[in-house]
Amino acid sequence: MNRAALLLLADGRFPAGGHAHSGGAEAAVRAGRITDAASLEAFCRGRLHTAGLVAASLAAAAALGAEPGELDAAADARTPSPALRDTARRLGRQLLRAGRTTWPGGQLDALATVFPRGLHQPVVLGAVARAAGLGPEDAAYCAAYESVGGPATATVRLLSLDPFDATGVLARLAPDTDRVAGRAVRAAREALTDGVDALPAASAPLLEISAEAHAARGGRLFAS
Amino acid sequence: MHLHRHHDGLGGSGAAAHRPDGTRRALRLGLGGPVGSGKTATVAALCRQLRPELSLAVVTNDIYTREDAEFLLREAVLPPERITAVETGACPHTAIRDDISANLEAVEELEERSGPLDLILIESGGDNLTATFSRGLVDAQIFVIDVAGGDDIPRKGGPGVTTADLLVVNKTDLAPHVGADLARMAADAKAQRAELPVVLQSLRGEAGVAEVAAWVRERLAAWQA
């Protein structure tokens, strides 16, 4: 257990490509669904309990040592949007690159060799957490926090939202983030014995639909 | 000047100088500079000049995604599969300096797709005078400013002006129209950069990009030696 490594992995400055993605916030801003701190909070709460929960459980399962290929297939089944699947694998490759250089070792090298086209980002996140000496709770926290941290940062840039307000949103979501991480770890432990179908499959249809529209649109600031 | 910058042995960072099969990978040159200074026009001119003799590709880092890539495609300076646009999430300098993972992925994909390349030009999105490329991404960098942006820019300095491997002062043909003093710009640049080279160019003039192209050839010869 190496708690400082958690800070490093959860830091938004960790160079794994996240800065170019808004987690659906740009599409929501464009559609008028995020206009201020209150609507950002509602968006983030929804994302945390759907995409965030699924990502956290995948990350926790990977950190527990579940088979990455099976987890990747489970992530595909829980990601209807081809654009989001593509984004998830791209971010997975970028995170694996950063992880391999930061925490060198055979396990991550093997992942890159066996899955040259990449794995969904949460699966890589769990594997990188494991390589960094972290446990499933840490991996779940990273994924859950990232699911709301990315959109909040992006919204500061998109709406010129007061950065203190955006940070306040994340603070108010902290108890929910705790609950989501806990639930994700319980599901990940179940998946070790019962298979990946035990992982949550909470879905946010509007995130999936707007991701497709966003991917087809020119003049965007964020890749997704 | 550091003509030989060996990055061997850095493993997964992408900066390693050799491909997995042991051959030397493409030389990676970054082009940075303020908005509108002529980075994309310089890249296009370099492609036209060098494509008969070299196998090359371009990565653009746009602010609004594909503008620069689409300009290069319209100008047909390279086949479409040789041009990749990286999206930068409203922060172009982050993608070339603080978090280079998307750009590293783009250059590796270009080499995978096109076979071995000699040269990859990585153009940054228009940014400010402090934007520089990470040494983990490029082997050398060119900073492009222009006379219309103010002839005091070389004097003001900043990391791009003072540390880039080549400083290009572009659009010299506009100097009489904007009241820019070229001699002063050249002298200020020399004072800021000591031995590092400076090229004053007008892409509309007869010589065009020739001097920059010659510098690129020299870097490439050193890289491949």
Inside any domain, residue A53: yes
CATH code, domain carrying A143? 1.10.4190.10
CB-CB under 8 Å, A93 with B12: no
Q: Residue B94: closest CA among chain A residues belongs to which residue?
A: A19
In the predicted model, is pLDDT for residue A177 greater than 50?
Answer: yes
Residue A109 in any domain: the answer is: yes
**Which residue numbers of B belong to the known binding site for GTP?**
33-40
- Let me know if residue A7 belongs to a domain: no
Strand arrangement of the beta sheet that strand B198-200 belongs to: B83-87, B56-62, B119-123, B27-32, B140-146, B166-170, B198-200
B105/A contact by beta carbon, under 8 A: yes
In a domain, B188, yes or no: yes
Predicted local confidence at residue B3, as pLDDT: 41
Q: Tell me if residue B213 falls in helix, strand or coil.
A: helix
What pLDDT score was predicted for residue A158?
94
The pLDDT of residue B80: 92
**N-terminal to C-terminal alpha carbon distance within chain B:** 16
Distance of residue B142 Cα from the nearest chain A Cα, in angstroms: 24
DSSP state of B3: -
Q: Are A55 and A147 in contact (CB under 8 A)?
A: yes
Q: Minimal Cα–Cα distance from B34 to chain A, Å?
A: 18
How many folded domains does chain A comprise?
Answer: 1
Binning pLDDT at 50, 70 and 90, where does residue B127 land?
confident
Mean pLDDT on A122-141: 98
**Number of folded domains that form chain B:** 1
Give the pLDDT confidence of B33-79 residue by residue, as tens digits.
998 999 999 999 999 999 999 999 999 998 776 778 888 988 889 99
Q: Enumerate chain A positions whose Cβ falls within 8 A of a Cβ in B.
A: 13, 15-22, 90, 93-95, 97-98, 100-101, 104, 109, 112, 154, 157-158, 218-223
Residue A127 lies in a domain: yes
H/E stretch holding B170 reads strand B166-170
Q: Which of A14, A101, A157 to mutate to test the interface with B (most CBs of B within 10 A)?
A: A101
CB A147 within 8 A of CB A57: no
A1 falls in which pLDDT band (50, 70, 90)?
low
Question: Does the pLDDT at position A4 exceed 90?
Answer: yes
In a domain, B191, yes or no: yes
**What CATH number does residue B95 fall under?**
3.40.50.300
A34, A159 Cβ separation under 8 angstroms: yes
Is A16 part of any domain?
A: no
Is A3 inside any structural domain?
Answer: no
Structural domain boundaries enclosing B92? 22-224
Cα separation values, B171 from B41, B44, B203, Å: 11, 15, 7
ipTM metric: 0.86
A63 in a domain, yes or no?
yes
Q: What's the mean pLDDT in A177-193?
A: 98
Question: Mutual orientation of helices B39-50 and B67-74 as an angle, nearest 10°?
Answer: 40
Instruction: Give the pLDDT band (50/70/90) at residue B5.
Output: very low
What value does the mean pLDDT take over residues A177-200? 98
The tens digit of pLDDT for each residue in B166-180 reads: 999 999 999 999 999
Chain B residues within 8 A of A217 when measuring between CB atoms: none
Q: What is the pLDDT of residue B14?
A: 57
Structural domain range at position A30:
21-215
* Residues in CB range of A174: below 8 A, 6 or more apart: none
Burial A21-56 (b: 16+ CB within 10 A, else e): bbbbbbbbbeeebbeebebbbebbbbbbbbbbbbbb
Residues of A in contact with B63 (CB under 8 A): 221
pLDDT in tens, B17-37: 888 788 889 999 999 999 899
Residue predicted with more confidence, A62 or B17:
A62
